[in-house]
A and B are shown apart, each in its own frame.
Chain A
């Protein structure tokens, strides 16, 4: 089953070392609760906007956004700027 990344790592390594593990898994229950609360409003918006192209957008954007979130697992960006190294990764 697909699930969003539970951890995000941010790091800046230079003269000062800074490394942060963000516990994203703490955010997901809040986001899920928010999505449930907003779902009726989104459905209503989709119905109202049905004649326009934005109806489909309103209805599908949620699941697609969730798909992108789940797909973030494994993304890693590592920039070495000479004096500093920037690191971002999703676990």
Chain B
């Protein structure tokens, strides 16, 4: 029995979740189930880790607009996250306040390289396609 399953049963024993919720959560944690909802660690083990984060903005044919094609190494994003540890506390507070003003309730001090590894593992199957106006935005990892 995995840690996640034990945690779910503990929550059920403490009556923090209902039986139905526990059943649903347990079904999601079952290994080998083709729901595409494996944990990040399991996903990472079965596939190669993505090395690049790609953003492509392509104009619709004939619109003559600009196109953008950016390939960012994951290592660069990781290095950027490590740099956040150098931000002094008072500067972090200012950044947090600025983010809050924009409607993002997030504490930059909580950004840790370990979390990034987990996030990258979960991003393996990410592919976002946005078609709007005259442009097509494609975001994916490779």
Q: Which residues of A contact B (CB under 8 A)?
A: 53-54, 56-57, 60-61, 64, 67-68, 70-82
- Known A53-B88, A53-B89; contact A78-B75, beta-carbon cutoff 8 A: no
Give chain B nearest CB distance to A67 CB in angstroms: 5
Give chain B nearest CB distance to A46 CB in angstroms: 13
Give chain A nearest CB distance to B57 CB in angstroms: 9
Give chain A nearest CB distance to B62 CB in angstroms: 12
Give chain B nearest CB distance to A7 CB in angstroms: 15
Give chain A nearest CB distance to B65 CB in angstroms: 7
> Inter-chain contact count A-B, CB under 8 Å?
61
In the complex the two chains form, what is the Cα distance from A82 to B51 in whole Å? 29
In the complex the two chains form, what is the Cα distance from A71 to B67 in whole Å? 25
Output the nearest chain B residue to A2 by Cβ-Cβ distance. Answer: B75
Grouping DSSP codes into helix (H, G, I), strand (E, B) and loop, the A interface class, with mixed when no group exceeds half, is mixed
A74 near B71: Cβ-Cβ < 8 Å? yes
- Known A60-B86, A64-B83, A68-B80; contact A82-B73, beta-carbon cutoff 8 A: no
Output the nearest chain A residue to B70 by Cβ-Cβ distance. Answer: A77
A sample of 8 more A-B contacts (CB under 8 A), given A53-B88, A71-B78, is A53-B89, A64-B86, A68-B80, A71-B76, A73-B75, A74-B73, A74-B76, A77-B69
Give chain B nearest CB distance to A70 CB in angstroms: 7
A64 near B82: Cβ-Cβ < 8 Å? yes
